[in-house]
Amino acid sequence: MSTTYPAIGIRPLIDGRRGIRESLEDKTMQLANDVAELIASHLTYPDGSPVRTVVSNTTIGGVSEAAACKEQFRTENVCADLTVTASWNYITEVLDLDSSIPHAIWGFNGTERPGAVTLAAAASAYNMLGIPCFGIYGHDVQDAEDSGLTDDVVENLLRYARAALAVGLMKGRSYLSIGTVSMGIAGCRPPEQFLADYLGMRTEYIDMIEIDRRIEQGIYDHQEYDKALDWARENLRIGENHNPEHNRVTQEEYDAQFEYCVKMILIGRDLMEGNPRLAELGFVEEAGGHDAIAAGFQGQRQWTDFKPNGDLMETMINTTFDWNGRRPEKVFATEADAANAITMLFNSVLTHRPQLFSDVRTYWSPASVKRITGYTLEGRAADGFIDLRNSGATTLNAAGQERDAQGHPIIKQWWEITEEDIANDLAATTFHAATREYFPGGGFSTHFVTAGDMPVTAARLNFVAGQGPVLQVSEGWTVCLPDEVRITIEDRTDPTWPTTFFVPRLTGAGAHTSVYDWMANWGANHTATGYGHFGADLLTLAAMLRIPVYMHNIPREHILRPKAWIPFGTADLEGADFRACAAFGPIYR
């Protein structure tokens, strides 16, 4: 698969004047090769293979070499370029002026040759031409023989490459909307123009009845279904039925619902990515799928008033393992909230880890917890926490039962998952007969408790009339409570749903003044949350896509945006971000 993934192009610029150029060839190509090795050794594709870089066949000292490099990159599926230089260049003759891909320049900070001068001149040219370009410049002067890959340069090179690769991974793919609007949630409406203009993606639509049709007509791999059902019966632990007696059905009916839900998992996956096995069974058209890198399922209420809910399908598609063992995560949104699915997608293409789809349910203040449970909050939760309880489903990996080398809870990338991790995630999860008041058609809900003290990043893409897309980003941690306290809180809402408690990192200012302020300023009823603190990468990705970011808690020193953002204001970076994004507009329009 990795051969079809987009690559990062490395462009070594050189002073084209003969008599000078010859002394710079080795140094300039060494910079390019060092950056290529850095990227390949630190970044991976969604399948775990090293990110591919394409270094220009020659250094670039004039327009003919720039054109040859462009043609080379075109044939190598390059989705972004990263220019390196340790000398002066004839700027407008050697720059890549393709406005549809991200650009960055690293100007080697040495005094023997003016690589940093080239960076400044190139940034000026790009700004004048309206093509945003990231500038990377080391803090300390280096000697000519140094590699220049100091810690600050490495951080920015990798941040740029991660975000640029994310742009390339989304381009040309599809978002699949299964159903329409769930319970009047505006975010369910797929933002078709946004997907095309900002992400280069198409939007696909199918009615939920297609799932029922495929089940009724047997349009799925029956051998795989038998394998999946056996695995599910053995590994998915059925928990307590919390429905009152008058809302329960017979065991035979619950068994039939369970079998139906397992078929939904296979069909949901086939709808997203296709399945060549279906063609062998005579269903050639259905075998193709929708090339969907993300999808959402409406469910409530038209479906769930009549059919088993989609929780099991949503849970397993979002999880990095199933009856076939470990596998890459997919992005699959509850309630067809396309805005949240897109945010989950941003997180996923940056981190290659499964994402949590959650309700932003409740802010629990210390006083409220004390009044309801008698418990005094402490530690990270001392100022209160956010209950991210979800009436749909989220990834089983979010149970936090996977462990790093030090024994800390973690959500691993799929290729790192072990059989022990899988067993522990499953052991920490129970599946409960769906609450009939919410889901008259039955089905099963997923319940686990996310482990505490995991670093996470919560994000949400919102759309505002007259403004367009805006992104919220908040780094923080999961927290755990004593079981008796947690159970009391769970029972006040629904004990059959996933339990994740979150606290943002407070800054003492704006929306991150307090946990209450975070809740009061969050822009929607859902959030996409991923393992790790990668908020700075999200800000860089958003700048590439021209999506302004508000309500974030990322330290200024970690923010990497194009040099063109600077003329829009240096005192108020948030305002400058809004103005720059409005001025440049979406990358594909």
The amino acid present at 216, given as its one-letter code, is: E
- Our CA angle for 261, 265, 270, nearest 5°, is 140
Averaged pLDDT of the chain:
95
Which DSSP string do the residues of 307-323 spell out, in sequence order? Answer: S--SHHHHHHHTSSEET
pLDDT score of 483 more than 80: yes
Rounded to whole angstroms, the Cα distance separating 519 from 523 reads 9
Catalogue the E-assigned strands of 323-403: 325-326, 331-334, 356-359, 362-364, 385-387, 402-403
pLDDT of residue 148: 82
pLDDT score of 2 more than 60: no
Contact predicate 127/564, CB 8 Å? yes
Three-state DSSP at 354 gives coil
pLDDT score of 523 more than 90: yes
Catalogue the E-assigned strands of 389-454: 402-403, 409-410, 430-433, 444-447
pLDDT for 253-309, tens place per residue?
A: 999 999 999 999 999 999 999 999 999 999 999 999 999 999 999 999 999 999 999
Which structure tokens are listed for 257?
A: 């619902």
pLDDT score of 581 more than 80: yes
| Full-model pTM | 0.96
Rounded to whole angstroms, the Cα distance separating 317 from 396 reads 10
Under the banding of pLDDT at 50, 70 and 90, the label for residue 113 is low
Under the banding of pLDDT at 50, 70 and 90, the label for residue 3 is very low
Rounded to whole angstroms, the Cα distance separating 386 from 367 reads 14
- How, if at all, do strands 78-85 and 103-107 pair? parallel
pLDDT of residue 260: 98
Q: Which residues are catalytic?
A: 335, 359
pLDDT of residue 140: 78
Rounded to whole angstroms, the Cα distance separating 310 from 295 reads 13
Question: What's the whole-number mean pLDDT along residues 229-249?
Answer: 97
pLDDT for 424-466, tens place per residue?
A: 999 999 999 999 999 999 999 999 999 999 999 999 999 999 9
The amino acid present at 69, given as its one-letter code, is: C
pLDDT of residue 234: 98
DSSP H helices, 149-250, are 151-170, 192-199, 209-216, 222-235
Under the banding of pLDDT at 50, 70 and 90, the label for residue 528 is very high
